[in-house]
A and B are shown apart, each in its own frame.
Chain A
Amino acid sequence: MTRSDRVASVVGLAAIALLACLPTRSLAQDQPAQVQPSADLIARGKYLTDMGDCVACHAAPGYPKFAGGQYMQMPFGDISTPNITPDKETGIGNYTDAQFIRLMQRGIMPDGSRIYPAMPYPWYAKVPKADLLAIKAYLFTLKPVHAARLPNKIWFPFTIRPAIALWDAFFVPGEEFKPDPSKSDEINRGAYIVEGLEHCGTCHNHWNLLGNTAIAGNVEGGAITRWYAPNLRNDDLTGIGRFSVDDLVSFFKYGHSKSMGTVAGPMSETIDESTMKLTDSDLHAISVYLKSLPVVAAYTPTDGRYRPDAMAAGRQVYLSHCASCHQDNGQGVSERIPALDGNGMVQAAGSQDVVRVVLGGLEARGPYGLMPGVGAAMSDKEIASVSNYVRQAWSNRAPANTTTLLVSLLRKDTHTLLNGSRPDGCPALAENDLAKVLDDSSNGIGALLQQTTEANLLQNANTIISKVRAVAPQIKREDLVNGLAIAYCPIVEKEPGLQESQRIWQLTHFADRVYVQLTTNGAY
């Protein structure tokens, strides 16, 4: 740092200090501690980093993990996530322990400026310093990546960062998590995870813009980035009351369970990147803790408040687009198609999840099949009407609050492999066993996939699967279904003479065929 740089930074920081009335420290004054952390500490740090789900935000397509580069959609604009690898220029390589803790617990950068609460520091404020330092020790073992932060896209007046201090004063808890001696150790462990690193309330709190405090509520469900995070309280109808602790553990571990169906939306990332990596005892603790919370109903069940004629119209749409898989009685097919009757997501107070799944479909997960983006062929009115129908049919009593406006808003925002709305083109196939099989030209699988059209996809899918199974029997069923769909995407896109809708359905038919062939093992 040159002398003039230093002068400039001191002047700049002094200005920020005046605005924010906060103490400031220059980076240059603190040097990172040069203590070699133990392997145990690093392993614990890695576990806690997974628990904190840091990588969900601090990664983006085309960026290495933890190098940031993702835009988080907030109500006041888009915030880019920074690089948290130990790169000294663009990452956190120069952070001291004290700076790291202050950032994690108070949301204050080493230069004294405030960060936006897109970063869940109101939750990390409850995490003991020793745990945060373990995370830091782990992050510092990562390979430094040089990746400068992308510019934020935030609207005035939210660009006045010192104002965040006011928000912090109200909505950031003042002290670290303290176990409640009247509760069991397991409940306290669950509370520590849920209220701390796992930061469930960021989405599941009712007023999730109000941080991690009593007024924000505690996991009784809230809207987030145009999805709806359902009520996690133990209410039978509107919460997790119908699901056992084992159901919840299985859901956190695999993203599906017998009575809960499959996960959708941002929670699927949370499961893949975070809860899936936690120990069974921690998942058990989370579930027991959630079940121990006082029961709160997300809404008053609305039996029969929906107009009968609208219900009949919704049923027509249901019969046309949903009933063949989810069945007329809403029970689905055991271990193939999730039930909609009593489904937690369908029953959530907000109907965003139903609409988004109808619009975008779902990839295969565990034993459950892939859901087509059926909404691509349905009008906004049809989707609103069928969403209200499934939320009121059978034993479901959720408010019939889906409007065509909501559907049209969500349609603009729902881009998936399966609904043909892909502004960034076909997604890239992950570097995995399937990619290797498809790249290997000696087995002819890639070539066969290239020649697959709607006319021969039923027989080609069979051949492709038996060939893949012969060379790579270890690939999991859902990875094969999802992976082959991704691999087939660019081929369908290039096929000449097809209408856009035909491309969407051809891809879906292929993926469905792969799934059916794998589940029935050709037994027909």
Chain B
Amino acid sequence: MRALTAPLELVALALRYSLAGIVAHPWRTRAWVVGLIAIALVFAFGSTLERLPVTSVQLGYRGTAMEAEYNPRLLKPEIEANRLLPALPAVPDAGIPSSKAYKNIKVLQTADANQFLRQMGAFANWINPAAGCAYCHSLNNMASDSLYTKTVTRRMIQMTREINTNWKAHVGGVGVTCYTCHRGNSIPQNVWFTEPPPGAGHGLAETGTGQGSPDKASGLTTLASDPFTPFLLNAMPIRVTGVSDLNIGNNASTKQAEWTYGLMMHFATSLGVACTYCHNTNNFASWDQGTPNRVPAWYGIRMVRDLNRNYMLPLTNVFPAGRKGPMGDVAKINCATCHQGAYKPFYGASDLAAYPLLAQRNTP
């Protein structure tokens, strides 16, 4: 994913400055010459044109161009970057529950004491291996809740269990662990915050509605910014196309349409796929003509919305100031948080079976 955005940013930047020159001095030949050369160079070297080869994976009927395209050369480092950590070796049970062995256990209290410690070791490896236990536990008293990270972790364990037990429609049997998102980072590398309301004149072409400025969320297009707040936090309808021939009663705005496009661009970049992974471009809206992949994606949107509302938002006041977004909101989840550029996180590999504590149902 990161490999893709760097040239894209370059393109956006070069286009912006060469166009700026032309707009500022439209009567000067030099501005036009320099501007056009820059634009030509951008398309020659900075664009997303890729060196071959390309392989394609068929996703729909033959002849419908329903396929996912991959460049094996670019896929190789992505596969390397999306590997699971080796699972920790199994340990024999201690025979007593963790709540008997340790104080102040609130989520994993029924776990066997030894399995509990093994799981703690895995947490350390997954979240912040350098800080280890100390990232969540006070070294003076491991039972103390003095560090905010411990409060967050408890809720995140519950969230992981919620995903693995109640959202099988999206995660299937593969499931998730902390490492699916964290990958050794205390904050997962791909999270989102609500963006400040757009102000006219921030960029060369930015409008007061947040259009016209390259937006990372929608793949550096100039679609309306922040497509996440409406769909992945609030439940605004994603579909903007009309359902009847004459389009009666559809008052969806251009901005809404751009948000939908932006969200779809985010889906594509987060999973490393194109539209045809789920949709038949003959009729985007039609469920009949799309691929089965669209079903888990539909549940995924609901899942992310649920997690953001019920697991992330309630933690807003737990996080310290430096951890929140520009609007003082908590870090939130989108597709990239788990997928990180792969159509399935870790390209489908799973080690949830090695950590059964995370696959249990939450106790109400």
Are A and B physically bound partners? yes
Interface residues of A (CB under 8 A from B): 312, 315-316, 318-321, 324-325, 328, 333, 336-337, 369, 372-374, 376-378, 453-459, 497-499, 501-502, 505, 508-509, 512-513, 515-516, 519-520, 523-524
The 4 closest A-B pairs by CB, nearest first: A455-B88, A505-B129, A458-B117, A524-B142
Q: Which residues of A contact B134 (CB under 8 A)?
A: 324-325, 512
Q: Is B202 part of the contact surface with A, judged by Cβ < 8 Å?
A: no
- Considering only residues 121-146 of chain B, those with a C-beta below 8 Å from chain A are 121-122, 124-125, 128-143
Chain B contacts with A in 114-168, Cβ cutoff 8 A = 114, 117-118, 120-122, 124-125, 128-143, 147, 149
Q: Are A519 and B102 in contact (CB under 8 A)?
A: no
Q: Are A508 and B132 in contact (CB under 8 A)?
A: yes
Q: Do residues A454 and B114 form an inter-chain contact, with CB atoms below 8 A?
A: no
Contacts A498-B86, A519-B140; A456 near B118 (Cβ below 8 A) = yes
Residue from the set B128, B143, B322 with the largest chain A CB neighbour count within 10 Å: B322
Q: Is the CB of B132 within 8 A of A321?
A: no
User: B339 CB to closest chain A CB, in angstroms?
Assistant: 22
Report B329 CB to chain A, min CB distance, Å.
16
Which residues on A sit within 8 Å (CB–CB) of B114?
Answer: 456, 459
Given A455-B91, A509-B133, A333–B139 Cβ distance below 8 Å? Answer: yes
Question: When the two chains form their complex, are residues B130 and A516 in contact, meaning their CB atoms are under 8 A apart?
Answer: no
Residues 92 to 111 of chain B near chain A (Cβ within 8 Å): 94, 102-104
Give B164-195 as 1s and 0s: 1 = Cβ < 8 Å from A's Cβ atoms.
00000000000000000000111100000000
Does B125 lie within 8 Å of A454, measured CB to CB?
yes
Determine the main DSSP class of A at the interface with B.
Answer: helix
Do A321 and B131 touch across chains, with their CB atoms under 8 A apart? yes
Taking CB atoms and an 8 Å cut-off, the chain B residues in 253-281 that contact chain A are none
How big is the B interface, by class?
A: 35 or more
Whether a CB of chain A sits under 8 angstroms from the CB of B349 is no
Q: Tell yes or no: B30 within 8 A of A by CB.
A: no
CA distance A378 to B130 in the complex (A): 9
- B89 CB contacts on chain A under 8 angstroms: 453, 455-456
- Some 24 contacts from A to B, beta carbons below 8 A apart, are A312-B322, A321-B130, A321-B131, A324-B134, A333-B139, A336-B139, A336-B140, A372-B132, A377-B130, A454-B122, A457-B121, A459-B117, A497-B86, A499-B86, A501-B129, A505-B124, A505-B129, A508-B129, A509-B121, A509-B124, A516-B137, A516-B139, A523-B141, A524-B141
A456-B89, A508-B129 given; 17 more Cβ-contact pairs under 8 Å: A319-B186, A324-B136, A333-B139, A454-B122, A455-B89, A456-B114, A457-B121, A459-B113, A502-B129, A505-B125, A509-B121, A509-B129, A512-B133, A513-B133, A519-B140, A523-B141, A524-B142
Q: Considering the chains assembled together, what is the distance between the CA atoms of A513 and B85 in angstroms?
A: 22
Q: Please, which residues of chain B bring their CB within 8 A of the CB of A336? A: 139-140
Residues of A within 8 A of B131 (CB): 321, 324-325, 372, 374
Within the complex, what minimum Cβ distance (angstroms) separates B178 from chain A?
15
Known: A315-B322, A319-B322. A374 touches B130 (CB 8 A): yes
Chain B residues within 8 Å of A377, by CB: 129-130, 184
Chain B residues in 8 Å Cβ range of A373: 130
Q: Is the CB of A328 within 8 A of B320?
A: yes
State whether B88 touches A454 (Cβ < 8 A). Answer: yes
- CB of B139 within 8 A of CB of A519, answer yes
- By a beta-carbon cutoff of 8 Å, the part of chain B in contact with chain A is 85-86, 88-91, 94, 102-104, 113-114, 117-118, 120-122, 124-125, 128-143, 147, 149, 184-187, 320, 322-323
- Distance (whole angstroms) from the CB of A338 to the closest CB of chain B: 12
B280 → chain A closest CB, angstroms: 42
Docked pose: A377 CA to B143 CA in angstroms: 27
CB distance from A207 to the nearest CB of B (A): 37
Residues of A near B135 (CB, < 8 A) are: 324
Chain B residues closer than 8 Å to A502, beta-carbon distance: 85-86, 125, 129
Nearest B residue (CB) for A508? B132
Given A455-B121, A524-B142, decide whether A516 and B133 contact each other with a Cβ distance below 8 A. yes
| CB of B195, distance to nearest CB on chain A (Å) | 16
Most buried by A among B88, B102, B139, B187: B139
In whole angstroms, how far apart are the Cα atoms of A244 and B104 in the complex? 41
User: What is the bound-complex CA distance between A513 and B90, given in angstroms?
Assistant: 20
Give the distance in Å from the alpha carbon of A501 to the alpha carbon of B184 in the complex.
10
Q: Nearest Cβ in chain A — how far from B125, in angstroms?
A: 7
Question: Chain B residues near A369 (CB, 8 Å)?
Answer: 139
* Complex interface: chain A residues within 8 A of B91 (CB): 455-456, 459
Q: What distance in Å separates the Cβ of A457 from its nearest Cβ neighbour in chain B?
A: 6
Most chain B C-beta atoms within 10 Å of own C-beta, residue among A315, A324, A512, A516: A324
Residues of B within 8 A of A372 (CB): 130-132
Which of the residues A320, A453, A456, A519 comes within 8 Å of B185, measured between beta carbons?
A320
Given the interface pairs A455-B90, A455-B121, A499-B85, the reply to whether A333 lies near B140 with Cβ below 8 Å is: yes
Q: How far is the CA of A454 from the CA of B143 in the complex (A)?
A: 21
Q: Which residues of B contact A376 (CB under 8 A)?
A: 130
Q: How far is the CA of A455 from the CA of B141 in the complex (A)?
A: 22
**Distance (Å) between the CB of A443 and the closest chain B CB?**
21
Q: Does the CB pair B129–A333 fall under 8 Å?
A: no
Q: Given the complex of chains A and B, what is the CA–CA distance between A455 and B85 in angstroms? A: 13
Residue of A at shortest CB range from B132?
A509
Point out the residues of chain A lying under 8 angstroms from B323, CB to CB.
319
Tell whether, in the assembled complex, residue B125 and residue A324 are in contact, meaning their CB atoms are under 8 Å apart. Answer: no
Contacts of B149 in A (CB 8 A): 324
Given known A-B contacts A325-B131, A374-B131, A377-B129, A453 and B88 have beta carbons under 8 A apart:
yes
- Chain A residue numbers with a CB within 8 Å of B113 are 459
Complex Cα spacing A340 to B34, Å: 52
A199–B182 alpha-carbon span in the complex (Å): 50
Contact residue among B86, B132, B141, B147 (Cβ-Cβ distance under 8 Å from A505): B132
The answer for the CA separation of A305 and B27 in the assembled complex, in Å, is: 43
**Complex Cα spacing A320 to B162, Å:** 26
Q: Return chain B residues, CB-CB under 8 Å to A324.
A: 128, 131, 134-136, 147, 149
In this complex, what residue of A is CB-closest to B185?
A: A320
Least Cβ–Cβ distance between B154 and chain A, in angstroms: 16
Query: Does the CB pair A520–B141 fall under 8 Å?
Result: yes
Q: Which residues of A contact B137 (CB under 8 A)?
A: 516
Chain A, Cβ-Cβ closest to B119: A455
B10 to chain A, nearest CB (A): 19
A316: B residues at CB distance < 8 A: 322
A524 to B150, CA, bound (A): 15
Q: A319-B323, A333-B139, A512-B134 are contacts. A524–B103 as well, Cβ < 8 Å?
A: yes
Q: Verify A515–B141 contact, CB threshold 8 A.
A: no
A333 and B138 contact, CB distance less than 8 A = yes
Bound Cα distance from A515 to B135, whole angstroms: 15
The chain B residue with its CB closest to the CB of A462 is B117
Which chain B residue lies CB-closest to A328? Answer: B320
A residues near B141, Cβ cutoff 8 Å: 520, 523-524
In Å, the complex CA distance between A497 and B124 comes to 18
Q: Which residues of A contact B140 (CB under 8 A)?
A: 333, 336, 519-520
Do residues A455 and B118 form an inter-chain contact, with CB atoms below 8 A?
Answer: yes
Considering the chains assembled together, what is the distance between the CA atoms of A39 and B349 in angstroms?
74
A221 to B90 Cα, complex, angstroms = 53
Q: Considering the chains assembled together, what is the distance between the CA atoms of A505 and B135 in angstroms?
A: 13
Distance A373 CA – B132 CA, assembled complex (angstroms)? 11
Among B102, B125, B129, point to the contact of A524 (Cβ < 8 A): B102
A324 to B134, CA, bound (A): 6
Give the complex CA separation of A337 and B138 in angstroms: 11
